Chains A and B, each alone.
Chain A
Amino acid sequence: MTGRETRVPSETANATFVEFDRVQKSYDGISLVVKDLNLTVAKGEFLTMLGPSGSGKTTCLMMLAGFETATNGEIRLDGRPINLVPPHKRGIGMVFQNYALFPHMTVAENLAFPLEVRGMGKSEREAKITRALDMVQMGAFAARRPAQLSGGQQQRIALARALVFDPALVLMDEPLGALDKQLREHMQFEIKHLHESLGITVVYVTHDQGEALTMSDRVAVFNDGVVQQLAPPDELYERPVNSFVAQFIGENNKLHGRIEEIEDGRALVRLDTGELIDATPVNVSAKGQRTLVSIRPERVEFKPEMMPDGAHTIEAEVLEFIYMGDLYRTRLRVAGSDDFVIKSRNTLTQRRLQPGERIRIGWAPQDARALDA
C-alpha cells in the first residue's frame, strides 16, 4: 500500500490529472446541485473553485474525495475512474474548513496517523513528520494537543497532515475561512509557496475572490451548480464571459442599453438614457439586442489628455469623493444611475474631484464589455 500515492515526476506536467466528465449530483432526487460539470485539472495546477454560498463547490470537492457519490457521470484521477474507489484508497490529501485535527492525539500523532495506516516504519515516520512540521514552521509544537494551538497554528498542522503522506493531489475547502485578514494573507502566501515547491496539484475552494485571484493558476467560477467561467485570474478579471462573472469578480460599473452597431469586435451601445458608448461585444451578437456593459472602475478616464483617440465620452456629475490612502474613489452620476464608481491612483499630480463638479468620462473600447443583459 505504501508509495502508491507518491508524487508523480513533473515531466508529465500539464497532463490531465483530475477530470470531471459530465458529472451531475442530486441529494434529494428532485433538484440538481451540480449540473453537468466538465472540468479538468492539470498535473501540478492550482485550481480554485469560487462561487457564492450554496453553488455546489463543497459538493464537487466531496465527490472528488469520495465522501459523496456522483449521481451521474464519471470522475477520473490520473486517467483512472474513481467513482467506485473508497475514499481511503484515493490517496488524496484534504484540508477541512474546521481543520478536523483529532483532538485526542498530539500534533505528532495526528501527523503519524496517515503514515501508520500505510504501515510505515517508525524511523521513516519520524523523519517525515519532522520534515512536514518544519515545512509549516511548527517543529516546536509536536507534543501539543490541537486544543492548545491557535487557529492559525491548527491551520498549519492541518496542512502538514494533508501533505505528510506525499499525496499528489490536495483538496482544501475554505481552509482560511476562520482566520483574520492578516493571517489569511500570510497563509495564502505560504500555501502558494508550498504548492510551488512541492509540485502538488491543488483543488482549492473559497468564496473570497481576492484569495482566488492571488493564489490560483486557474479559477472555476461556480454558480447554481454550473461552471460559469474557467480561466486564469487575469482573464477572469479582465475578460469575464458573462454578467454573473463580471459582477462576482471585483467591482464593476454597469450600464444598460441596446446594441446600436456591431462589427468585427467593436460595438456601439445606445444607453437607455440616450448616450452612445463604445464597447467590446462578448456574448451579444445581434443589433438591437439588450445588453449590460461592464467597465472596471480603474479603467475609466476623466482627464481629456488621457482619453483614447476617437472614444465616445459621456457626461457625469461628481457625487462623492472618498480618500482611501493608495486610491481615490469617486462616485458619479452617469446615465441616470448614482452608483458609477471610478478609482484613480493617489499620485502627486492626481486631481481630486469636487462634489458637484461636472466632467466627461470615457474608456478604451476593450475595457467596456457588452454582456448579456
Chain B
Amino acid sequence: MAEAVAGSGGGLRTADGRPLGEALAQAQGRARRRALLLVAPLLLFVLFSFVVPIGQLLISAFSDDDFARNAPALGAWFDENPRGSPIDESAYAALAADLKAAKENRTAGQMGERINYEVSGARSLFTSTARNADKFEPPYREAILAARAEWDNPRLWESMRQASSSVTPNFFLAAVDLRRSETGGIERAPEEVRVYQMLFMRTFALSALITVLCLLLGYPIAHLLATLPLRYSNLLMIFVLLPFWTSLLVRTTSWIVLLQSEGVLNNILVGFGIIGDDGRIRMIYNQTGTIVAMTHILLPFMVLPLYSVMRPIPPSYVRAARSLGASSWTAFRRIYVPQTMPGVAAGGLLVFILAVGYYITPALVGGATGQLISNLIAFHFENSNWSMAAALASLLLLAVLILYWLYDRLIGIDNLKLG
C-alpha cells in the first residue's frame, strides 16, 4: 500500500491545485520555524559555550606564533631559501638580527621555549646567545658559533624553520610520539620521550576495563531495582544515588582511607592473619586505585540508563519464553538481555566517555602508573604549553567522536536510551 502512494505521489495535488509536496512543506515550515524560535536561546548558549571554545581549542592546537612573532628576519630567510639549502652567512645574519631584537624586547626565553619542545637545551641556548647579541659583528656565522657551537645543528634549524610558520601540525605529531626529522620528514620520537601513545593506550584500556566492571556490577543492581516492588526499589535507588550527593573529593579520599597500606582493608587482612604486617598490599596510588575509585564513582551512570530500560520490560516476555521451552538462562540471554541492549550501550558509552576524560580521581589516587591522558593535559596547561594541551585534548575528542560514529554504525544511535 505504501508503494502505491509513493508511486503516484508525484502527481498528487491539493484541492486548490497546488502540488501536494509543496503544500506539505509550507504547512510544516510554519510549525518548524516557531519551534526553532523556541530553542533559539539554548542554541545560542550552546554555540557560545561549546562550539566556539572547541573551535578555539582546535585552532590553538595547530598554531603557535611564540617563535614566528619574534623572528621576522629568520622567517623571511626561511621563505626565500627552501628546505635543504645550506645554512650560510645570510641565515646567521638573520639569526643575529632576531636575537638582537629579542634581547631588547626580552623575548629570547619565549622563542627558546618554543624550540625547546623539540630540541632540548634550546631555551638556554637562546637566552645565553641573546645576552651577547649586541656584540656580534659580521661575519655572523663565525661570531655566533664562537659564542655557542651548538648552533651548528641541522635539527635546531629544521625546528626553527617549522616554528617560523605559525601554523604547524607538530603538536599533533608530538601527541602521538612522532616528530619532524632533520630533513623535514616524519619519524618516531626518541624512545625516552615516547609517553603519549602509551598514555592514550592506557587511558582507553583502563576506561574499557572500568566500563566492563561498571556493567558487571551495575547490571544485577539495575535488574534488582527494576523487578523489586516499588517500596523497596525506591530505598535501594537512594543508595545508588547517595554518591551523587557526596562530594567527589570526599568519595575519592574515602577510598584512600580504605585502601592505603595503613588503611582499613589492609588492617583487616593483617588482623585476620591473611597477610603479614610487612606484606601489606599496595592498593592505592597505582592503577588499582584508579580502577577501584573510578568504577565506584561512575557506577551510577551505568545503573541509571540500565534501570530506565529494564523497568518497563514486562515480565511476560520472559514468561512467554519459558512457556515456549526456554530454560531460565536461555530466556535471560536471548529475550531479556537483547531488550536491555539500548541501556547497556547507553550506560557503556556514558561511562567510557566520562572515564576517558577523567582527571581528579587518577590525580589523587593514581600514583605514577594510574595517570590518564587528562592528567598530562592538565600538566601541559599548568606549564602554559597551551598548544600541546589542546592537541592532546583534540585527539581525545577525535577518539571519542570515532567511537560514537562506530557505535552509530554498529548499534544505531537511535537505539540509545539514556533515561
Contact = CB atoms under 8 A, between A and B. Distances in A.
Q: Do A and B come from one complex?
A: yes
B347 to A, nearest CB: 18
B338 interface: yes
Contacts of A103: 339
Contacts of A104: 338-339, 341
Contacts of B321: 102, 113
B320 A117 contact: no
Interface in A171-198: 171
Nearest to A67: B319
B317 A102 contact: yes
Nearest to A94: B323
A297 interface: no
Interface stretch (A85-93, A239-247, A331-339): A85-93
User: Chain A, interface size: which category?
Assistant: 20 to 34
A26 to B, nearest CB: 17
A131 interface: no
Contact of B324 (A66, A98, A114): A114
A117 B338 contact: no
Given A91-B325, A96-B320, A104-B339, A113 B314 contact: no
B106 interface: no
Contacts of B331: 88
Contacts of A20: none
Contacts of B217: none
B319 A88 contact: no
A161 B322 contact: no
Interface in B329-348: 330-331, 334-335, 338-339, 341
A80 interface: no
B316 interface: yes
A165 interface: yes
Contacts of A96: 316, 319-320
Interface residues of B, number: 20
Nearest to A102: B335
B310 to A, nearest CB: 14
B339 A88 contact: no
B231 to A, nearest CB: 14
Given A103-B339, A104-B339, A117-B330, A88 B322 contact: yes
A196 to B, nearest CB: 23
A93 B323 contact: yes
A323 to B, nearest CB: 40
B166 interface: no
A115 to B, nearest CB: 9
A117 B316 contact: no
**Highest count of chain B CB atoms <10 Å: which of A101, A104, A118, A162:** A104
B327 interface: yes
Contacts of B314: 98, 100
Contacts of A118: 325
Contacts of B324: 88, 93-94, 113-114, 117, 161-162, 165
B125 interface: no
B317 to A, nearest CB: 5
B326 A92 contact: no
B325 A117 contact: yes
Given A103-B339, A113-B334, A88 B325 contact: yes
**Highest count of chain B CB atoms <10 Å: which of A67, A88, A98:** A88
A65 interface: yes
A90 B319 CA distance: 13
A183 B320 CA distance: 24
Contacts of A165: 324-325
B326 A100 contact: no
Interface of B: 314, 316-317, 319-328, 330-331, 334-335, 338-339, 341
Given A102-B317, A117-B330, 16 more contacts: A1-B325, A65-B323, A87-B323, A88-B322, A88-B324, A88-B325, A88-B326, A88-B328, A96-B319, A100-B314, A100-B320, A101-B320, A102-B320, A113-B326, A114-B325, A162-B323
Interface of A: 1, 65-67, 86-88, 90-94, 96, 98, 100-104, 113-114, 117-118, 161-162, 165, 171
9 contacts: A66-B323, A88-B322, A88-B326, A92-B323, A100-B314, A101-B320, A102-B317, A103-B339, A165-B325
